[in-house]
């Protein structure tokens, strides 16, 4: 199949509301020596895309300015240094940018095969959340079998993946969500308990659920007023892992004596600025430990809504409404 010189993509016409997203035409990217060029069939919509559109999360140096961090499709070309993939392979990839487009260049080491029985839509729903959850909950948070995890934002794409993987690997899982419907969904995904943060004091509920011992690991994307409550909700040697700060990154009321007394670890990370080698190491662990689970039909992504590429603005509006349970996707 010949590769055209131009492609359709979604352009952010300045920073602002979803309406700045417009369909445009531009050159098809040429893969660098370590990259594959993917003809995109589906792409995921994620919170970092919203932040980039708003002007608060610029792409790292050298990355495509086009939005989009995860894609699935067919390899149509590859750089000279790529040996792991062949033209015609069906892959999903964690892109450094450029996903809202007909073609996307992705480092070959950040790509993984479609799990057994998956189509492009389900495969494209995997990379951003699975890389993020594996790196933060399991590598940095060191969640182990028999431990207890608290997942905030349980019905977000990240939350659904975190609940499923924590449950799969033998942890007891609690989640917070903003409605009874969302709490019921958290339980369907494998949470042992789900707490409606609008009607319940989640920190008090966690204390009751753990008989005062606290949880081993917390995965938090909220920040702000949650920070001090997170620290209070951790048990001995507990780990608090931040992946976003939807309600702010500052908490003046934190008592760090608790960190010393209970030997707590507070950490966090962003995925996009990591090096290709660091992302490749995460991909290798996912292929070894998580892809067999997906191949077996477990821990599949939950897709809430799908929009054609030209309706990316509508997808962003849905993301910002927080009405979704699971992933929001674009089809190309």
pLDDT value, residue 238: 98
Residues 6+ apart with CB under 8 A from 292: none
What is the pLDDT averaged over residues 182-209?
98
What is the pLDDT averaged over residues 169-174?
98
Question: How far is residue 92 from each of residues 50, 82, 283, measured CA to CA in Å?
Answer: 21, 16, 11
Answer yes or no: is pLDDT of 86 > 90: yes
Report the phi/psi class of residue 188: left, alpha or beta, with left for phi > 0 and alpha for psi in -120 to 50. Answer: alpha
| Burial per residue of 236-265, b for 16 or more beta-carbon CB atoms within 10 angstroms, e otherwise | eebbbbbbbbbeeeebeebeeeebeeeebe
pLDDT, tens digit, 9 for 90 and up, residues 215-247: 999 999 999 999 999 999 999 999 999 999 999
What is the pLDDT averaged over residues 127-135?
98
pLDDT value, residue 252: 83
What is the pLDDT averaged over residues 182-201?
98
pLDDT, tens digit, 9 for 90 and up, residues 141-168: 999 999 999 999 999 999 999 999 999 9
Is residue 127 a contact partner of residue 296, using CB atoms and an 8 Å limit?
no
What is the pLDDT averaged over residues 174-195?
98
pLDDT, tens digit, 9 for 90 and up, residues 18-27: 999 999 999 9
Composition of the chain by helix, strand, coil, percent to 5: 35, 30, 40
> Which of 35, 51, 209, 229 lies closest to 218, judged by CA?
229
How big is the CA angle at 202 (ends 199 and 317), to the nearest 5 degrees? 65
Q: Determine the Cα–Cα distance for residues 94 and 126; give it in Å rounded to an integer.
A: 9
Both structure tokens of 108:
């070959």
Final residue in a domain of this structure, among 228, 248, 268 = 268
Same domain, 211 and 326: no
How big is the CA angle at 28 (ends 38 and 13), to the nearest 5 degrees? 110
Final residue in a domain of this structure, among 223, 239, 268 = 268
Report the phi/psi class of residue 88: left, alpha or beta, with left for phi > 0 and alpha for psi in -120 to 50. Answer: left
pLDDT value, residue 253: 87
> Which of 189, 185, 206 lies closest to 197, judged by CA?
206
How confident is the prediction for the chain on average, in pLDDT? 97
In a domain, 97, yes or no: yes
How big is the CA angle at 267 (ends 264 and 268), to the nearest 5 degrees? 150
Final residue in a domain of this structure, among 248, 268, 288 = 268
pLDDT value, residue 1: 67
Same domain, 192 and 291: no
Helix (H) / strand (E) containing 59: none
Same domain, 276 and 263: no
Based on the structure, what is the number of domains in the chain?
2
In a domain, 1, yes or no: no
Same domain, 259 and 234: yes
Domain that holds residue 21: 6-126+272-331
Same domain, 150 and 253: yes
What pTM was estimated for this model as a whole? 0.96
Is residue 29 a contact partner of residue 4, using CB atoms and an 8 Å limit?
no
pLDDT, tens digit, 9 for 90 and up, residues 239-279: 999 999 999 999 988 999 999 999 999 999 999 999 999 99
Question: Domain of 94: which CATH number?
Answer: 3.90.180.10
pLDDT value, residue 291: 98
How far from each other are the two terminal CA atoms of the chain, in whole angstroms?
Answer: 17
Name the one residue in this structure whose structure tokens are 């799990």: 115
pLDDT, tens digit, 9 for 90 and up, residues 283-301: 999 999 999 999 999 999 9
What is the pLDDT averaged over residues 6-33?
96
Same domain, 112 and 223: no
In a domain, 309, yes or no: yes
DSSP 82: -
Question: Domain of 227: which CATH number?
Answer: 3.40.50.720
């Amino acid at each position: 199949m010949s590769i055209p010189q131009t492609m359709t993509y979604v352009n952010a016409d300045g920073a602002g509301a979803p309406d700045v997203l417009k369909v445009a035409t531009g050159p098809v990217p040429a893969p660098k020596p370590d990259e594959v060029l993917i003809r995109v069939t589906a792409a995921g919509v994620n919170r970092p895309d919203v932040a980039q559109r708003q002007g608060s999360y610029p792409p790292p140096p050298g990355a495509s300015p086009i939005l989009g961090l995860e894609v699935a499709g067919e390899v149509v070309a590859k750089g000279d240094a790529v040996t792991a993939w062949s033209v015609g392979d069906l892959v999903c990839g964690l892109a450094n940018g450029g996903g809202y487009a007909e073609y996307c260049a992705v480092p070959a080491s950040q790509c993984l095969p479609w799990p057994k029985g998956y189509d492009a839509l389900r495969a494209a729903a995997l990379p951003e959340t699975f890389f993020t959850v594996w790196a933060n909950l399991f590598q940095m948070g060191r969640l182990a079998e028999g431990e207890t995890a608290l997942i905030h934002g349980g019905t977000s794409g990240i939350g659904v993946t975190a609940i499923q993987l924590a449950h799969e690997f033998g942890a007891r899982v609690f989640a917070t969500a903003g409605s009874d419907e969302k709490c019921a969904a958290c339980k369907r995904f494998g949470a042992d308990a789900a707490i409606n943060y609008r009607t319940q004091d989640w920190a008090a509920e966690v204390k009751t659920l753990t008989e005062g011992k606290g949880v081993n690991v917390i995965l938090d994307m909220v920040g702000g007023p949650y920070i001090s409550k997170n620290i209070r909700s951790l048990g001995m040697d507990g780990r608090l892992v931040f992946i976003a700060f939807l309600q702010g990154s500052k908490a003046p009321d934190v008592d760090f004596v608790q960190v010393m007394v209970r030997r707590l670890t507070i950490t966090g990370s962003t995925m996009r600025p990591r090096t290709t080698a660091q992302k490749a190491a995460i991909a290798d662990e996912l292929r070894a430990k998580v892809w067999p689970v997906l191949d077996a039909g477990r821990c599949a992504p939950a897709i809430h809504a799908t929009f054609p590429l030209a309706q990316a603005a509508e997808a962003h509006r849905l993301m910002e409404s927080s009405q979704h349970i699971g992933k929001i996707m674009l089809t190309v």
